[in-house]
Amino acid sequence: MRLLLLGTGGMARLHVKGFREVEGVDLVGAVDTDPNRLQAFRETHDIPRGFASLDAALEWGEFDAISNITPDSVHYPTTMAALTAGKHVFCEKPLSTNYAKAHEMTETAERLGLVNMVNLTYRNVPQIQAAQRMVAEGAIGQVKHFEASYLQSWLVSKAWGDWRTSPTWLWRLSSKHGSNGVLGDIGIHILDFASFVVGSDFADVFFRLQTFGKAKDNQIGEYVLDANDTFVMTAEMQDGAMGVIHATRWATGHLNDLRLRIYGDKGGLDISDLNHHPKLMACLGDDAETATWREIEVDPVPTNYRRFAEAVRDGANQEPSFRHAANLQKVLDMAATTERDRTEHVAGPAKSV
């Protein structure tokens, strides 16, 4: 597979690393509107060709697929252009900034028969994949309840740098700069984390959003700090399970921590990824009587990068697909609606009884 990297920002180096670990993938070019950044990226990663625009790269055309690593608001026009040109697309999350655009991207990719995947990176964690299989195989019985969280602390810590002086972080706090806040940045990860392991889509949801004051007049330079910092939600799944999900950038002491606790009528699972140190714990069988939790050892799993390359090679799409990401975006879009109406809304088909 000949791959074009669309964007050379911070995430691009992870795409280079991920795809270079896959045999048969050739990184043939990169695109960036900043010529200095493009040149430095190409020299660092030995990328043979560089382009100032996607149009220029498409005119050249000597590639099979793109890895779309552009800002969120640019995913829609660039992906649509690539699909129209017959290129397979591996897109960073979220797929787009709203469900209508994400749905159009999905329909276009499927109509044209092109491979389409979204880089929901926690699918790369073996403990999550193992937990999903255990639930699907009935290890914990019928799922009744779950709780999920994604906690970061970069608004109260300089561990990742000082957000007050860095455009890398400031844009994530400004809706004018294309941010949908913590909801769009990490919310899609925790919604995917929860629904993937639970094994059911969302039926009914209720969100509350909050933006806290962070600077004088809530503005630093050109950045108006109006994007949400925290969300909490309740959810009922199509299989009837009930759960709560929350995420924030104000979680002192948590650099980048995800956790999902899921309980069925035969057992429970506790999946955590605390600053990239994953663990899967289970309370099953007789252990339920003594509340004994045991760690489950797991085997490595193929990364999203490898599975995308396999999908292009085999001509058969793999998950997480555009359609899955679009369905999650539909749920995220409902946050503003439920916040405004202060009432639960239907997110998908009626739940099973």
Range of the domain at 112: 2-122
Residue 302 placed within a domain: yes
C-alpha–C-alpha distance, residues 291 and 314, integer Å: 46
In a shared domain, residues 98 and 159: no
pLDDT at 224: 97
Residue 342 placed within a domain: yes
C-alpha–C-alpha distance, residues 161 and 168, integer Å: 10
Whether the Cβ atoms of residue 319 and residue 142 lie closer than 8 Å to each other:
no
3-state secondary structure of 287: helix
Count of structural domains, the chain: 2
In a shared domain, residues 206 and 116: no
pLDDT at 240: 95
Tokens describing residue 26: 């050739």
Residue 103 placed within a domain: yes
Domain boundary residue among 55, 87, 122? 122
In a shared domain, residues 118 and 131: no
Residue 88 placed within a domain: yes
C-alpha–C-alpha distance, residues 100 and 108, integer Å: 12
Is the link from the previous residue into 94 a cis peptide, with omega within 30 of 0? Answer: yes
Residue 352 placed within a domain: no
In a shared domain, residues 11 and 151: no
**Along the 353 residues of the chain, how does pLDDT read in single tens digits?**
999 999 998 899 999 999 999 999 999 999 999 999 999 999 999 999 999 999 999 999 999 999 999 988 899 999 999 999 999 999 999 999 899 999 999 999 999 999 999 999 999 999 999 999 999 999 999 999 999 999 999 999 999 899 999 988 999 999 998 888 999 889 999 999 999 999 999 999 999 999 999 999 999 999 999 999 999 999 999 999 999 999 999 999 999 999 999 999 999 999 999 999 999 999 999 999 999 999 999 999 999 999 999 999 999 999 999 999 999 999 999 888 888 888 877 887 656 54
Residue 172 placed within a domain: yes
In a shared domain, residues 218 and 106: no
CATH number for position 191: 3.30.360.10
In a shared domain, residues 96 and 199: no
DSSP-derived secondary structure letter, 159: B
pLDDT at 353: 45
In a shared domain, residues 137 and 282: yes
Residue 351 placed within a domain: no
3-state secondary structure of 87: coil
In a shared domain, residues 79 and 142: no
In a shared domain, residues 198 and 335: yes
**Helix pair 75-84, 99-111: axis angle to 10 deg:** 10
Whether the Cβ atoms of residue 116 and residue 110 lie closer than 8 Å to each other:
yes
Residue 63 placed within a domain: yes
In a shared domain, residues 39 and 88: yes
Strands (E), the chain: 2-6, 26-31, 49-51, 65-68, 88-92, 116-119, 143-152, 202-210, 219-220, 223-224, 230-237, 242-248, 256-264, 267-274, 278-284, 294-295, 345-346
Domain boundary residue among 122, 155, 172? 122
C-alpha–C-alpha distance, residues 325 and 317, integer Å: 14
Could you tell me the pTM of the whole model? 0.90
In a shared domain, residues 93 and 131: no
Count the alpha carbons within 13 Å of 44 in the hemisphere toward its beta carbon: 13
pLDDT at 48: 97
- Counting every residue written for the chain, the total comes to 353
**Helix pair 322-341, 188-198: axis angle to 10 deg:** 110
Tokens describing residue 190: 């925790």
Which amino acid does the sequence have at 75? Answer: H
CATH number for position 16: 3.40.50.720
Domain boundary residue among 101, 122, 143? 122
In a shared domain, residues 150 and 48: no
Number of H helices, E strands in the chain: 12, 17
Using alpha carbons, select from 100, 60, 54 the residue that is nearest to residue 74. Answer: 54
C-alpha–C-alpha distance, residues 110 and 119, integer Å: 18
Tokens describing residue 227: 């994007």
C-alpha–C-alpha distance, residues 15 and 19, integer Å: 6
